[in-house]
Amino acid sequence: MMIARDDEVKRSRIWRFAIIISSVLIVVIVVYLLMKMFTANPLEGSWEGEDGDIAIHVGVNGTMTVSISDVSEGTDLDIKMSYTLDKDAKTITIREDASELDRLAGLSDGAYTRETLESALANVMTTFNYNIESGVLTLSEREYGEQLTFTKK
């Protein structure tokens, strides 16, 4: 052994230091994994609709982007929205951002209006019960039971 060749006290000190450092590192990693497992947003990420006409990207800070195809004459549109997630009740409430809809309608040069955008998003703007099984997200509307199915991208 090259470290502390014939000095048992130095070897013992080095070994104790290595054990302490590795123990602290193991505890930090375990705490991090437990925090990620129990506090992470289960819906976070990109999801593509079953029909391919809608996709959502769920962010961590209560914002999401809904991508809708064929809003007006074959155009694809990304609309920023907000959501509230209740992990205990397994519900998600999706809300429109009025200023974002006005901005997109203004940028479209008359191709679509705010009302057109609201009607395209009507089936998404509500409170859903969510369920995730093997990479498939199912959003069930609480009032009428209509379901939207998404697969993880």
Residues 68 and 14 in one domain: no
Over residues 127-152, the pLDDT tens digits come to: 999 999 988 999 999 888 889 999 99
Contact 116, 102 (CB under 8 A): no
3 pLDDT above the threshold of 70: no
Interacting residues of 45 by C-beta distance below 8 A, sequence separation 6+? 57, 58, 152, 153
Contact 47, 138 (CB under 8 A): no
Over residues 8-59, the pLDDT tens digits come to: 888 888 899 999 999 999 999 999 998 888 777 888 889 998 887 889 999 8
Inter-CA distances, 78 with 82, 85, 103, 121, 138, Å = 13, 21, 12, 11, 21
Residues 74 and 137 in one domain: yes
Residues 107 and 34 in one domain: no
Residues 16 and 61 in one domain: no
Residues 6 and 51 in one domain: no
The rounded radius of gyration (Å) of the Cα atoms in the chain is 25
> What is residue 118's predicted lDDT score, i.e. its pLDDT?
86
> What is residue 12's predicted lDDT score, i.e. its pLDDT?
87
Query: Which band of pLDDT confidence, cut at 50, 70 and 90, is reported for residue 74?
Result: low
Contact 118, 96 (CB under 8 A): yes
Domain count across the chain: 2
Assign residue 113 the CATH number of its domain: 2.40.128.50
Q: How large is the average pLDDT for residues 54-83?
A: 83
Mean of all residue pLDDT scores within the chain: 86
Q: Which residue has the tokens 């959003």?
A: 139
Domain region containing 148: 45-152
Helix (H, G, I), strand (E, B) or coil at 141: strand
Give CA torsion, residues 93, 98, 100, 102, to 10 deg: 150
